[in-house]
Structure 1
Amino acid sequence: MAHGNGQDHRPLGVMHVLRAPLGGLYRHVLDLAREQARRGHAVGLIVDSTTGGESADRTLAALEPSLALGLSRVPMHREPHPTDALVLAHVTRRLAAAAPDVVHGHGSKGGLFARLPGFLPGASRSVRAYTPHGGSLNHRPGTRVHRTYMGVERLLGRRTDVLLFESAFIGSRYRELVGTPRGLARVVHNGIDDHEFEPVVPEADAADFAYVGELRAAKGIDVLLRALDATGRALGRPLTAVLVGSGPDREVLERLAADLGLGERVRFPGPMPARRAFALGRTLVVPSRAESLPYIVLEAAAARVPLISTDVGGIPEIFGRYRDRLIPADDVARLGGAMAAALAASPERRARDAADLAAAVLDGFSIETMVDAVTAAYREALASRDRPAASRPREVALSP
């Protein structure tokens, strides 16, 4: 494999390690791996075998022929588990056999398995890259569990050559909670493809509001349900919503909808492709309590879907000069007010606001730019590793 300096343009060997093949993290890895392989790099994947269902099976089967370093799936648990030792042994063997230039871990568990082999005797000289995707950095600080996770992150930082933060927010949070990175650090925003800028038109019987994503507490869907109820009562008419996705809190949310008397006005159709889901509602609501740089906001903005979102994580980096449209998290009244305003807005105003945000996303969030930046960071880390320690860059860059 290539180990040249910053001007080296030879193909690289890259092994991506992640846990769950679902959500925005998986979308990021798929886009990155596909484009890296298309550009002639030798790419491999190590991923959990117990999550993702048929959708992951299909996407991985389609990608596998382009993976020169192969695909392997092994059971990985979200939380610490005795079988983690078996996963570590599997990853170590795969890395020894593939000898990649770069091992790129994604998310807390992928980052653990990508970097921990670097402590073992006889470890390869692969550059070790890490993209947190929020992960444990979005846990509530102050708890014993959080302190433990941050201690692990500090330990793994000793075997991290390059940190690739998907938002400046996560970069600053890492510095606050873990410390100053020892190696290179770059902000590389997620990117989307040109075809995703084709507008999505709502179906004739579309619900008033839609949510698309995981059904779990951090996403703030309970706030959306309470706001839907309160706004409907204030306006004197029933409002409808469709909540697209799957997750551990589906039954809790279904019970909450029933307790609020929303009944059949709220549907849970399960997971489906984002653009298909967008057509099921007239306004997308992103009520998250925590995010890094969510793809669903990029995708909805590109598709010119009217959008209500909370002001959390890296979402302001997507909205840019339109950040004043964002609302606080965990605020039923503010969300209800935004929902009422969306219902009252003229079609012309809704179209104009959506077009403004689509233009902002088109200008700054492309897959090509994302892959260019990631690959440049790999090469810089490889070049830095091969230089004498005294000549390596000491400053950490955290600007996009």
Structure 2
Amino acid sequence: MDVPVRLRIVHVVRAPIGGIFRHVRDLATAQSAAGHAVGLVCDSRTGGAFEADAIAALAPTLALGAARLPMRRDVSPADLPALSRLMRHIGELSPDVVHCHGAKGGVYGRLVAARLGRKRPVACLYAPHGGSLHYEAGSLEGRFYFGIERGLERITDALVHVSAYEAEIYRRKIGRPRCRAVVIPNGLRDDEFEPVIPRADARDLLFLGMYRDLKGTDVFLEAIALLETRYGRRATAHLFGQAEDEGRRRYQALAENLGIAERVTFHDPARTRSAFAQGRLVVVPSRAESMPYIVLETIAAGVPIVATRVGGIPEIFGPSAGELVPPGDADALAAALAGVLADPVRAQIAAAARFDYVRPRFHIDVMRRRIEDLYHDILAAKTSARAA
């Protein structure tokens, strides 16, 4: 039996929010445009109207549809009926490839693929996207989840890391992979490399991301307060984001306590390029990342950016990585923001240099081709092994 040129691909991800969903959506769309039959399965209870609209817009472009089924984030007895529903649904789609994303999607998807693979060749890939790798190696939770990750390697055909940093963290915390492991960075579409011009009423600063300490929302607000007390600049800001664990009310309260509430506005998620027009400088103050789309998108749009030295961000900045600031350090962040805001011409020159570095290296077509080559390699090996 030959490996089909046009594949049936199912992507499994729990949370249809943030960068992980952006990755899945873009990859699924590109694969569908390339002629593959693609499907998506994600949680039915995570996200709001913005995410629901995005999934509704995506579904008609996918030959295998977009299904939303209940998936809990934490380990729970509810995982068993959830796994049963996923097994039934994905089995009916008869996939050649099950591509799992994130920790919980990785558990569900790999178990389903292993079961389906008993009857015919099914390629099973897992992309951590940070996920369980955010836990500390010595913590009780970390040891628990890393043990699960280690065990699931036995039914995984390939790990797909979005950055060299993530691959190294995986080796350090979980161990040298016992399955194939590759690094394939995120990529952007051609239209995302068009410049975005700030509106006349654009604010000084812009934050786009989940409202979580992991994303540095608290550090960002503290840096805004320091801009006034140390540098005499009463900076204004828009924040666009989704709160999954911690509601935005905690950060609104922090803004009140810092005396900056009248200069910062919290919003629900918005389309990235529309949001870009509402600020002059994007700030990514994360404490941890893998290969964040927001950094790629900002650079591609020609918008100045200040970001932290975490995860795969130095890989995106390349020769400009020395500009990055340490995570969790409001003083350093405030100093970097003050410098950029004080010299907008220099900020635009630096933005142009970052654009020139990113465009040829982080493109959706490169990402899609490398992932599809990996699918075919795995399926060819499995098909040959069955024929032997």
TM > 0.5 fold call: yes
2:7 corresponds to which of 12, 15, 28: 12
Q: Distance in 2 between matches of 1:272 and 1:88?
A: 32
Aligned-pair CA distance for 1:40: 1.1
- Aligned twin of 2:294: 296
- Aligned twin of 2:84: 89
- Aligned twin of 1:76: 71
Q: Distance in 2 between matches of 1:235 and 1:176?
A: 41
Whether contact under 8 Å (1:3, 1:382) holds in the other structure is no
- Aligned twin of 2:206: 210
Q: Distance in 1 between matches of 2:177 and 2:35?
A: 30
Whether contact under 8 Å (1:215, 1:245) holds in the other structure is yes
Deviations 1:183-220 (Å, cap 9, x if unpaired)? Answer: 22111100011111111122222221111111011011
SS of equivalent to 2:195: coil
> Which stretches of structure 1, 4 residues or more, deviate above 6 A after TM superposition?
none
Structure-1-length-normalised TM-score: 0.92
- Aligned twin of 2:134: 138
C-alpha root-mean-square deviation of aligned residues, in Å?
Answer: 1.8
Deviations 1:47-85 (Å, cap 9, x if unpaired)? Answer: 111122222222222222332223221111111122211
- 1:199 maps to 2:195: yes
Aligned-pair CA distance for 1:118: 4.7
**Greater alpha carbon shift after TM alignment, 70-79 vs 259-268:** 70-79
Deviations 1:231-282 (Å, cap 9, x if unpaired)? Answer: 2112224221211112124111111110011121111122111111112221
2:25 corresponds to which of 30, 49, 52: 30
Deviations 1:156-208 (Å, cap 9, x if unpaired)? Answer: 11100011101111111111111222222111100011111111122222221
CA 1:234–1:114: 2 relative to 1, 3 Å: same
Q: Distance in 1 between matches of 2:381 and 2:176?
A: 18
Stretches of structure 2 that go unaligned for 5 or more consecutive residues are none
Give the 5 Å matches for 1:205-354. 205-247=201-243, 248-345=246-343, 347-354=344-351
Whether contact under 8 Å (1:200, 1:303) holds in the other structure is yes
Aligned-pair CA distance for 1:373: 0.7
- 1:363 maps to 2:338: no
Q: Distance in 2 between matches of 1:199 and 1:106?
A: 30
Whether contact under 8 Å (2:116, 2:122) holds in the other structure is no
- Aligned twin of 1:180: 176
Q: Distance in 2 between matches of 1:376 and 1:359?
A: 27
Deviations 1:25-47 (Å, cap 9, x if unpaired)? Answer: 11111111111111111111111
Aligned-pair CA distance for 1:325: 0.8
CA 1:173–1:355: 2 relative to 1, 3 Å: same
CA 1:239–1:121: 2 relative to 1, 3 Å: closer
Deviations 1:320-370 (Å, cap 9, x if unpaired)? Answer: 11111111101122111101101111x331211111111111010011001
- Aligned twin of 1:394: none
Q: Distance in 2 between matches of 1:21 and 1:192?
A: 19
- 1:170 maps to 2:166: yes
Whether contact under 8 Å (2:98, 2:113) holds in the other structure is no
Stretches of structure 1 that go unaligned for 5 or more consecutive residues are 392-400
- 1:42 maps to 2:40: no
Q: Distance in 2 between matches of 1:56 and 1:222?
A: 24
- Aligned twin of 1:395: none
Which letter does structure 1 place at the counterpart of 2:293? Y
Q: Distance in 1 between matches of 2:329 and 2:10?
A: 42
Q: Distance in 2 between matches of 1:3 and 1:47?
A: 30
